[in-house]
Amino acid sequence: MTPTTTVYVIDADGRLGDALQCLLDNYDIEVRAFTDTALFLSSTTASHETSSCLLLVLNSDCERGLKFVEEITLSRPKLPTIVLCDSTDESLRKQYIRLGAIDIVSKSMVDAYIFTRLSATLPGAECLPGTPPSTMQLPDGTAVTFRMIRPEDARIEHDFVIALSDRSRYLRFFSGLRELPSYITRELVDPHFPISYALIATISTEEGERQIGVARYSPTETKRVAEFAVVVADEWQRHGIASQLLRYIVAAATIAGIDRLEGLILHENTPMLKLTDKLGFTISQDVELDGTIVKVIKNLR
């Protein structure tokens, strides 16, 4: 089958491009890796880029990529570009976004995530470098791991939803339900990339792994438009966990060839409106929703 989506990777050492190729082959997504921007620009044309994207990998100096992004967006204005580096500098992030990049996503977490997924897909794969898990350290020392949800997570997902405050559950599901019916939980823990995808944030406790956040995108009735949602356990909010989860969801949706992410948010949900504004979503003007709900959108291409 001809791949419908191409992920271009510019990566000086080629490691991530090789790994992505191995992973995305499973989903009929083509990966083309280049060692530098000049090579990428001279070897590709804009003609087949309708559902493609570019990952620009920067290993250390995150500012170095600014000039590359400028060059790329000038000659390929329609190609969504995601910068992979480890900067948490908000002003640098804004500069990239101003130049046309979708966002900066943590390079070491993406590396760790992909290599962990690959070792799960290919147990014993000797070619894979050893990488620590995709973990974010909170100021109190807690390690939060980000990983794809899987069917075996039905119990932790169920426990996570039950433990949410009534308010958080209402803001997420727009209803007063306390517990999700098991058939819905089964669906939520079994996304089908590239059509749908979900990531969870977990911590390790004496009782085992505990879910403290989840973000997902799911298909809508419109082709290449997906709906997203995110929720973080009440006691773990305001630590940047939803921001990380949503950045990965945006990156995964871009790689999956999705054109636009949309989310329905209750008008009273100021935290979520602020979060989506911060991540570059805008309020959609073109829909007539009842006045209690706001639709936010992010065009990915």
Ligand X SMILES: CC(C)(COP(=O)(O)OP(=O)(O)OC[C@H]1O[C@@H](n2cnc3c(N)ncnc32)[C@H](O)[C@@H]1OP(=O)(O)O)[C@@H](O)C(=O)NCCC(=O)NCCS
Structure tokens at 141: 């020392």
Least distance (Å) between residue 167 CB and ligand X: 7
Least distance (Å) between residue 56 CB and ligand X: 24
275 touching ligand X, by CB under 6 A: yes
109 touching ligand X, by CB under 6 A: no
- Taking the least distance from each CB to ligand X, the nearer of 131 and 269 is 269
∠ CA(234), CA(235), CA(236), 5° rounding?
90
171 touching ligand X, by CB under 6 A: yes
261 touching ligand X, by CB under 6 A: no
240 touching ligand X, by CB under 6 A: yes
Under a CB-based contact definition with an 8 Å cutoff, are residues 99 and 70 in contact? yes
The separation between the first and the last C-alpha atoms of the chain, rounded to the nearest angstrom, is 24
192 touching ligand X, by CB under 6 A: no
Sign of the Cα torsion 132, 9, 189, 174 reads positive
Least distance (Å) between residue 244 CB and ligand X: 7
Q: Is 256 exposed, middle or buried (0-12, 13-18, 19+ CB in 10 A)?
A: buried
Which amino acid would we find at residue 42? Answer: S
Stretch that binds ligand X, among 24-32, 183-191, 233-241, 249-257 (CB under 6 A): 233-241
Q: How many CB atoms lie within 10 A of CB 3?
A: 16
168 touching ligand X, by CB under 6 A: yes
Q: Whose CA is closest to 24, among 6, 2, 51?
A: 6
**CB contact set of 207 (below 8 Å; sequence gap of 6+):** none
Please state the length of the chain: 301
Q: Which of 274, 282, 283, 293 binds ligand X (CB under 6 A)?
A: 274
- Taking the least distance from each CB to ligand X, the nearer of 219 and 240 is 240
- Taking the least distance from each CB to ligand X, the nearer of 10 and 161 is 161
Which segments of 122-176 does DSSP mark as H helices, in order?
154-163, 166-173
Least distance (Å) between residue 53 CB and ligand X: 23
211 touching ligand X, by CB under 6 A: no
270 touching ligand X, by CB under 6 A: yes
Contact set with ligand X (CB under 6 A): 168, 171-172, 229-232, 237-243, 263, 265, 269-272, 274-275, 278
